[in-house]
Amino acid sequence: AGKFYQHAPTETSQATLASVSPVFAVMKFDKEGNTTYFEKKKTELYQELGLQARDLRFQHVMSIATRNNRIIMRMEFLKAVITPECLLILDYRNLSLEHWLLNELASQLAGEGQLVTYSLPFEFRAIEAILQYWISKLQGRLNTLQPQIRETLEALVDPSLLSVDRSKLHILLQNGKSLSELETDVKVFKETILEILDEEEVIEELCLSKWTDPQVFEESMSGIDHAEEMELLLENYYRQAEDLLNEARELRVLIDDSESIIFINLDSHRNVMMRLNLQLTMGTFSVSLFGLIGVAFGMNLESSLEEDPRIFWLVTGIMFLGSGLIWRRLLSFLGRHLEPPLPPHVPAVLKKSQPPAGRVEIKTSLKGETFGLSRGTLTNQ
């Protein structure tokens, strides 16, 4: 009775855990492209496939692994299990994913698409279809971002603009974040494929039919190396990811260069405004300086000069003439100190021919060694 009392809660808890096991919505494709839909608990699915519970955990964002002659792939929201006979897509209820599954994947697996591996075993077609879908999705994201970023940069880099449109900067910031996310996704995709390419045993394990189909095994033994075909397939998509990453980097460099141009344009306009402000300040100073004469004559003091009608025009002329001369002198001083200096003049002889560095060093060493020696000794040397 004591033993039964101890084991009863354990069995109850196991039954409870089995009842709450997650349920996968599965879309199954066979070699001919026929499609079936069903739902199955995780415990039933991994037992049917001969896997462990951890194999269907999909803890990595992107991974390609082999377990018990099964290929387990994940490309973010795309979860797949490949066997020598069929392809299982798990949790496929995604709008963009359903469109690809219903319209393209079935025909590609049946050999009606444009897959390069249509003559190879089924797992080659399944892997290529998934990799092609993911690389085309990344390429589509880049094709969407590229014209938007170029259009925004062309509007921001215009040198005639005295200020920067904040709405354009906001759009550029959002596109820059999207570009950074795209670069991260491409790098993860590259690293995932590179990890497989560095492991020869994993490449061998990806060739499922080589170990289950006697005909494929005989072909591999007669000279058709399926492991080499798998390696070439992965290298092809690795190069495509590398090209895609290079395009994204070029776009990133274009954004950085455009930002530098924008800052240069803004600094240039700011310098113009500062120069104009300085010129107006110097003009105000010049007028104020000679305006002291008018202030002196405007005082309530009597002199014999205010009786002469020509004094007003004389004093006014002196004020404007003196102010103009001082303003011109200040402008010339400003021009001399703000304009960049001219490059130093290079003689024409130095431009045409310059002696090699070796000859100059030899002459210098000879002078040092023969300092203080006779002319005959120098001639002999």
CATH number at residue 77: 2.40.128.330
More confident residue, 369 or 235: 235
Alpha helices in 198-225 (DSSP H): 200-206, 209-212, 214-221
Residues across the chain = 381
| Closest to 323 in 3D by CA, of 274, 269, 287, 285 | 287
Mark 80-102 as b/e (b = at least 16 C-beta within 10 Å). Answer: bbbbbebbbbbbbeeeebeebbe
* pLDDT (tens digit per residue) in 165-179: 778 788 888 988 999
- Asked whether residue 259 is assigned to any structural domain, the reply reads no
Among 204-208, 255-259, 334-338, the minimum mean pLDDT is found in: 334-338
Whether pTM exceeds 0.75: no
What mean pLDDT, rounded, does the chain reach?
A: 76
- Asked whether residue 98 is assigned to any structural domain, the reply reads yes
* pLDDT (tens digit per residue) in 249-295: 999 998 888 877 777 777 777 887 888 887 788 778 777 777 777 77
C-alpha distances (whole Å) from 321 to each of 237, 276, 284, 332 are 79, 22, 14, 17
- Asked whether residue 235 is assigned to any structural domain, the reply reads no
* pLDDT (tens digit per residue) in 311-330: 778 877 888 888 888 878 77
- pLDDT at residue 320, as a whole number: 80
- Asked whether residue 72 is assigned to any structural domain, the reply reads yes
Q: Domain residues for 64?
A: 21-113
Please name the residue that has the structure tokens 């289950």. Answer: 212
Specify which residues 30 forms β-bridges with: 86
Among 37-41, 195-199, 250-254, 373-377, the minimum mean pLDDT is found in: 373-377
- Asked whether residue 139 is assigned to any structural domain, the reply reads no
- Asked whether residue 224 is assigned to any structural domain, the reply reads no
- Asked whether residue 66 is assigned to any structural domain, the reply reads yes
- Asked whether residue 87 is assigned to any structural domain, the reply reads yes
Distance of CA 186 to the CA centre of its chain: 10
Neighbours of 368 (CB within 10 A): 8
> Structural domain tally of the chain?
1
More confident residue, 218 or 230: 230
